[in-house]
Amino acid sequence: MTAVLETTAPPSTGVPVTTKPARRRHVALRVLAVVVLLVLWELTARFMQNPTFIPSPAAVWRQLIVTSTDGYSGHLLTEHLGVSLRRILIGSLIGVAAGLVAGVVMGTVPWVRVVTEPVVTFVRALPPLAYFSLFIIWFGIDETPKLWLLSIAALPPVAVATAAAVHAAPTGLVEAARALGAGRGDVVRDVVLPHALPEIFTGIRLAVGIAYSSVVAAETINGVPGIGGMVRDAQRYSQTDVVVLGLFAIGLSGLLIDALLRQAEDRLVPWRGRI
């Protein structure tokens, strides 16, 4: 009697598994890229021999130490960065919350989508400085126009992504939920939003990125303390090393926030890419 042993392979999730050696290679490649860029930056600075045009990495590092210990424009670098991050956080939260509500309504109520979609597209096409001047006229030069600018800048990406994802919810699942007695709110909460979460997170990441790129513009007026205000003051005195330091501060903190958002997405939307 012959016994036949059948083995069943585990179901594929559709998500590539990253092994430890592969992760090490990715880290090594990123470190190598940073080293190459630093070397090219140093060589270019030595070739130009004009620190006002291109400061060397060493000059920017020295300025990092000075601004971190003695400060710039009356505030330490950590204070400038902390105020900018607080503005980004508050503005992004307001914009994301408003964008989520607008997106859900646009995706579930057809006539609202028809009416509001051109408005959202119009606002998304405007550069931040286009309406920042208007906010200054309306609200003065304190925190209010800055927060309005960041909120309006963060709203359209979330609204558009949410509306598109909600509108594309599987009709079969929606009808099945309704057949089981689910109301409109139940369908949105239990079927539509879980399906839309991956695209919503993409919109949130885009919104935070736009808020980061807008904060320097928002802080050009009465922006001290703040990275944008620090950069503006340094630009007036042609202190290129301080300007570059400010850009690095915003860029690196932006990378950190985006990494945190990616981790949050992986935890809250573990099924992304699997269905």
Q: What is the pLDDT of residues 146-177, one digit of tens each?
A: 899 999 999 999 999 988 888 777 667 666 76
Q: Quick check: 38 pLDDT over 60? A: yes
What is the spatial distance between Cα 114 and Cα 148, in angstroms, rounded to a whole number?
25
Q: Sketch the domain layout of the chain as residue ranges.
A: 76-268
pLDDT higher for 3 or 213?
213
CATH number of 76-268: 1.10.3720.10
Which pLDDT value is given to residue 245?
A: 92
Cis bond upstream, residue 225 (ω within 30)? yes
**Are 148 and 135 within 8 A, CB to CB?**
yes
- State the average pLDDT for the chain: 82
pLDDT class of 272 with cuts at 50, 70, 90: low
Which pLDDT value is given to residue 14?
A: 47
